[in-house]
Structure 1
Amino acid sequence: MITCPYNREHVMLRKKYQQHILKCREIYKDKVELLECPFNKGHLVPELEFHQHLKSCDDRKIIVQHLNSEEPDVRPDTRHEKIEADENWDDDRVEDYNPQVYCAQANIIREPRGLFPAQRKAFFKEEERRRRGDAEQPGTSNSPAENRPTPHHHKERLHSKRSSK
């Protein structure tokens, strides 16, 4: 608990002190004249005791200790020369990641989406060939089902025809 410097009957918690001081300063500004300590703005001292407070203030000791402390030694030999690298990864030409190409080449299972039943059947046959590692290139079958538009593409064409009218 801490006591108010303006009115000794006011006692409060330390965390409420700053708010309380602002209120009491307004109330007692004409009656009580207190000086602020330059080391801690929370120290409000009557003018007669001010010089004594400056000599014995706990916060003054901290500041004086800081001002009188020696600066840390910085050795100039701690800096090293810039090391030139033989390689620069920014200069390497790397292809962008293409998930479609990766899925076609990797040994993973793909799912057809938005295809008609005949297209799905052709897709599964193509996937089976791909997984077995057949030499035949994908998409070379002559099935008319593969060349049919998907329901998704059909909707896009209808939408584009409507918007062009």
Structure 2
Amino acid sequence: MSKINTVEDYSTLLECPYDASHRILESRFQTHLIKCKKHYKGEKKETCPFNSTHIINKSELEHHLKTCVDRKNFERSIQAPEPISHPPPEFKPLPDGEDWDVDVRAYNPAQYATNTPVLRSLQGASKSVRKQFRNDERKRLLALKSNGPE
């Protein structure tokens, strides 16, 4: 019989803010907080805006916000980006005689699929129409396989 859950490294266990007797694996901590919060009836708790796993007594929230270790990550993310230190690349027009818009052909996926040996299906049609479509598909694929016209 194999063990389902072994805890070899106890440093990954975290203490539940709602019940100090609960020790939870770090990977299961957020799930536990949701379940434990439903049954908690003690002092009013608040969630830290910098880390949702920090659940603090309402009276201690102000102190926690000043000393929260995740605050620096938040502040770093909202800082304005540094100005660009180099100019953007210089615009160079196309050489004479080169125009990419001249030979533009529209892509028609239905036409492409008709002339290629791919298996197509018909959705949303009646049973008899789908049956006829499957028969026509068999003929089309056989014609494409023999490289002859349909």
- What is the TM-score when the length of structure 2 is the normalising length? 0.51
Q: Percent identity?
A: 33
Q: Deviations over 1:43-97 (max 9, x none)?
A: 11011211111001111111223334642416444242332463458867xxxxx
Aligned to 2:19: 7
Q: Paired residue for 1:37, among 22, 32, 48?
A: 48
Q: Check 1:55–1:85 CA distance in 2 against 1; reply closer, same or farther (3 A cut).
A: farther
Q: Distance in 1 between matches of 2:100 and 2:80?
A: 47
Specify whether residues 80 and 27 from structure 1 end up closer, same or farther in structure 2 by C-alpha distance, changes over 3 A only. Answer: same
Check conservation: 1:3, 1:10, Cα contact below 8 A.
Answer: yes
2:61 is paired with a residue of what secondary structure?
A: helix
Distance 1:73 1:51 in 2: 37
Report what 1:51 is aligned to. 62
Cα separation, partners in 2 of 1:48 and 1:90, compared to 1, 3 Å = closer
Structure 1 contact 4–10 (Cα < 8 Å) conserved: yes
**Residue 79 to residue 23, structure 1, CA distance change in 2 (3 Å):** farther
Matches within 5 A, 1:128-139: none
> Structure 1 residue 32: deviation in Å?
3.5
Letter in 1 for 2:25: L
Worse-matched range after superposition: 57-66 or 73-82: 73-82
CA–CA distance in structure 1, aligned partners of residues 66 and 90 of structure 2: 43
Unaligned regions of 5+ residues in structure 2, if any? 1-12, 104-150
Partner Cα separation in structure 1 for residue 81 and residue 97 of structure 2: 43
Question: Is the CA contact (8 Å cut-off) linking 1:39 and 1:59 kept in structure 2?
Answer: yes
Asked if the contact 1:6–1:32 (Cα under 8 Å) also holds between the matched residues in 2, the reply is no
- 1:73 and 2:84 equivalent? yes
Match of 1:123 in 2: none
Indicate the structure (1 or 2) with the bigger Cα radius of gyration: 1
Distance 1:90 1:60, change over 3 A: closer
